[in-house]
């Protein structure tokens, strides 16, 4: 589903929908994350030129954006697609739903490579060049300001890719959700898969150069919450 017919939401509005879905309607956060990741994985599969030989690299940071990346990895792996996770945050620092999904992909033995220290960056950043599709699951809507190390290094490496299709999850890392102002650096995506609704910053002048085509994925939040936010 494209996002043109859905009214954009602010960072605060999306957070409130998530909060109320969990606290008032009893929808577990893991269910919302599962729906988001599964929907994103379906769209990513459509980009691949056949599953055989296709390779997807997913760059994960911390928090729920990384959790979405882990769910995406699981569904792509189950579809027979070669997936590698490049982790910009030590998994020991993850918590909540993101940690749960990280544990699942670890038990599934989906390949992972560290990017959270200098040795990992030097050894594994070049692996991005091997992928047909690179997924940016580094920073979510809660991020603001310039990305800090090692995120900045990973973003710059993604932007140097010439052959891969870059897909941002929820928003390109470095782009402000509300203002649409890009930080230095900001991921330049070919496609952004965003959840619930487009973000208000996407409509700002110049933001489209970073988002690429925007697709909206329904995460299963009760429709009453979305109607109230609109």
* pLDDT tens profile 146-204: 999 999 999 999 999 999 999 999 999 999 999 999 999 999 999 999 999 999 999 99
CATH of domain 11-223: 3.40.50.10260
CA pair distance 97, 229, nearest whole angstrom: 24
Strands, sheet with 82-87, edge to edge from the N-terminal-most edge strand = 112-114, 82-87, 55-60, 133-137, 165-169, 191-195, 213-217
Q: Are 105 and 86 in contact (CB under 8 A)?
A: no
Which pLDDT score is estimated for 65?
A: 96
Which pLDDT score is estimated for 2?
A: 42
Which pLDDT score is estimated for 102?
A: 98
CA pair distance 43, 16, nearest whole angstrom: 26
CA-closest candidate to residue 169, choices 198, 196, 135, 201: 135
Q: What share of the chain is helix, strand, coil (3-state, %, to 5)?
A: 45, 15, 40
Which pLDDT score is estimated for 6?
A: 73
CA-closest candidate to residue 45, choices 191, 211, 195: 191
Q: Are 178 and 145 in contact (CB under 8 A)?
A: no
CA pair distance 181, 145, nearest whole angstrom: 9
Query: What's this model's pTM, rounded to 2 decimal places?
Result: 0.94
């Amino acid at each position: 589903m494209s996002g043109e017919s859905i009214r954009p939401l602010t960072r605060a509005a999306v957070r409130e929908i998530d909060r109320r879905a969990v606290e008032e309607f009893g929808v577990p956060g893991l269910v919302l994350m599962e729906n988001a990741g599964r929907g994103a994985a379906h769209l990513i599969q459509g980009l691949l030129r056949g599953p055989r030989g296709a390779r997807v690299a997913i760059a994960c940071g911390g928090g729920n954006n990384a959790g979405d990346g882990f769910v995406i990895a699981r569904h792509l792996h189950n579809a027979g697609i070669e997936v590698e996770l490049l982790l910009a945050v030590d998994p020991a620092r993850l918590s909540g739903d993101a940690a749960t999904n990280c544990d699942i992909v670890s038990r599934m033995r989906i390949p992972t490579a560290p990017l959270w220290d200098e040795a990992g960056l030097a050894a594994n950043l070049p692996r991005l060049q091997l992928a047909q599709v690179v997924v940016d699951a580094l920073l979510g809507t809660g991020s603001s300001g310039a990305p800090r190390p090692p995120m900045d290094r990973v973003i710059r490496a993604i932007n140097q890719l010439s052959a891969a299709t870059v897909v941002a999850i929820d928003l390109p890392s470095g782009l402000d959700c509300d203002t649409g102002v890009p930080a230095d650096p900001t991921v330049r995506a070919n496609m952004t898969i965003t959840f619930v609704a487009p973000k208000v910053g996407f409509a700002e002048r110049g933001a489209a150069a970073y988002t690429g085509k925007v697709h909206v994925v329904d995460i299963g939040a009760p429709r009453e919450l979305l109607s109230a936010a609109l």
